[in-house]
Structure 1
């Protein structure tokens, strides 16, 4: 039975995902087909984004209104605390590398974690982040957006969800199926999808669907670490060129 405890040994995470999938359905929009996943408790596209104010890694507190000032869109992502290591800090790194591409589309980024402020400041400094991380240590904002999760093995935490919020304060797009225990390949594709949704120019496009690439270094079998690292670089360069190098500050 141990082999069936779910990815990374998180059986309840899989059960939670299955329960959420049962509550989601697809909506067809015109023009084009936009796939939107609806889940219980999750803020939906077209709804006003709940306001908040949280301590920031950059100092002081930041509100939703302040984050939207001077920007067409705010890309706001929730991620689990460091107590759960799925994906490590890859998600944060990829969003940091995508700063230039996002800024060209009128978007800025903020990350929200169930993490002490000191830990977020350490992460921000260590990764030389160009965007703030917000401290939601009690999970109050995560609850407002439907990103709060409780697991038997780990207790309360924050689920991975990403929202694109317009300058009018309304949710434009919700990515609710990022995956609590998503690996770096899934997270890389997710960040690329966020950029795709924003379109090649300023303004939202109508994506056909969220896609995952087929190229996966893990399929190379028993190759050495150098080969796997090379495959990772090839994957990034071919599919997501804006993720291959760290962007300069867009502030």
Structure 2
């Protein structure tokens, strides 16, 4: 699936583009059940990748999605969060912060890499390899509508809602 035209260096992660088919996946959820992208065929999905449950930035972002869930669902979107955390840690995160949308565990980073949400990034002036905070909007046919890489935790959901025309 990796196309050399989508990368700029041998170790650069692939970058999905609007119109491309979203990579399929099945991952364990915080509720202990498997969740597949195929489960949402015919629906619009907001899929976001975050570095680590229960950290300040990831909590801010998750709570912003939680607080906007009514308007996002009202506009026809399902929100799914993915991290490398274990299902047990995700369950604790969901419980602690009242997160009512599915949190999915990708401990081996396979799905992160398929979406280009794992790779080199600049962290306080140092180049490190890790999770790239990224968000994807997937349309009813399973195509990428928006691919947003290296987003900020604070204010991201408001910016996304604006891009999607959701008040």
Settle same-fold status: TM greater than 0.5. Answer: yes
Query: What is the CA–CA distance in structure 2 between the aligned matches of 1:168 and 1:97, rounded to whole Å?
Result: 27
Distance 1:41 1:70, change over 3 A: closer
Distance 1:88 1:145, change over 3 A: closer
CA deviation digits over 1:205-229, x for unaligned, max 9? xxxxxxxxxxxxxxxxxxxxxxxxx
RCO higher in structure (CA 8 A, sep ≥6): 2
Equivalent in the alignment of 1:164: 137
Equivalent in the alignment of 1:198: 164
Q: TM-score with structure 2 length normalisation?
A: 0.82
Kindly indicate whether residue 43 of structure 2 is the aligned counterpart of residue 77 of structure 1: no
The structure in which a higher percent of residues are strand is: 2
Query: What is the CA–CA distance in structure 1 between the aligned matches of 2:73 and 2:53, rounded to whole Å?
Result: 28
Aligned residues: 154
CA deviation digits over 1:48-77, x for unaligned, max 9? 0000000001221001011x2463x10000
Greater C-alpha radius of gyration: 1
Query: What is the CA–CA distance in structure 2 between the aligned matches of 1:172 and 1:88, rounded to whole Å?
Result: 23
Deviation at 1:87, TM superposition (A): 1.4
Secondary structure of residue in 2 paired with 1:98: helix
Specify every segment of 5 or more residues in structure 2 that has no aligned partner in the other structure, as ranges. 1-7
Distance 1:175 1:135, change over 3 A: same
Task: Tell me which of 40, 55, 80 is aligned to 1:110.
Answer: 80
Deviation at 1:149, TM superposition (A): 2.3
The structure in which a higher percent of residues are helix is: 1
Query: What is the CA–CA distance in structure 1 between the aligned matches of 2:65 and 2:36, rounded to whole Å?
Result: 20
Equivalent in the alignment of 1:43: 16
CA deviation digits over 1:177-201, x for unaligned, max 9? 30xxx4xxxx34210121122224x
Query: What is the CA–CA distance in structure 2 between the aligned matches of 1:149 and 1:126, rounded to whole Å?
Result: 29
Query: What is the CA–CA distance in structure 1 between the aligned matches of 2:117 and 2:30, rounded to whole Å?
Result: 20
Kindly indicate whether residue 36 of structure 2 is the aligned counterpart of residue 63 of structure 1: yes
- The root-mean-square deviation of aligned C-alpha atoms, in Å, is 2.5
Distance 1:54 1:154, change over 3 A: farther
Kindly indicate whether residue 106 of structure 2 is the aligned counterpart of residue 133 of structure 1: no
C-alpha contact 1:79 1:160 (8 A) present in aligned 2: yes
C-alpha contact 1:74 1:109 (8 A) present in aligned 2: yes
Deviation at 1:81, TM superposition (A): 2.0
Secondary structure of residue in 2 paired with 1:131: coil
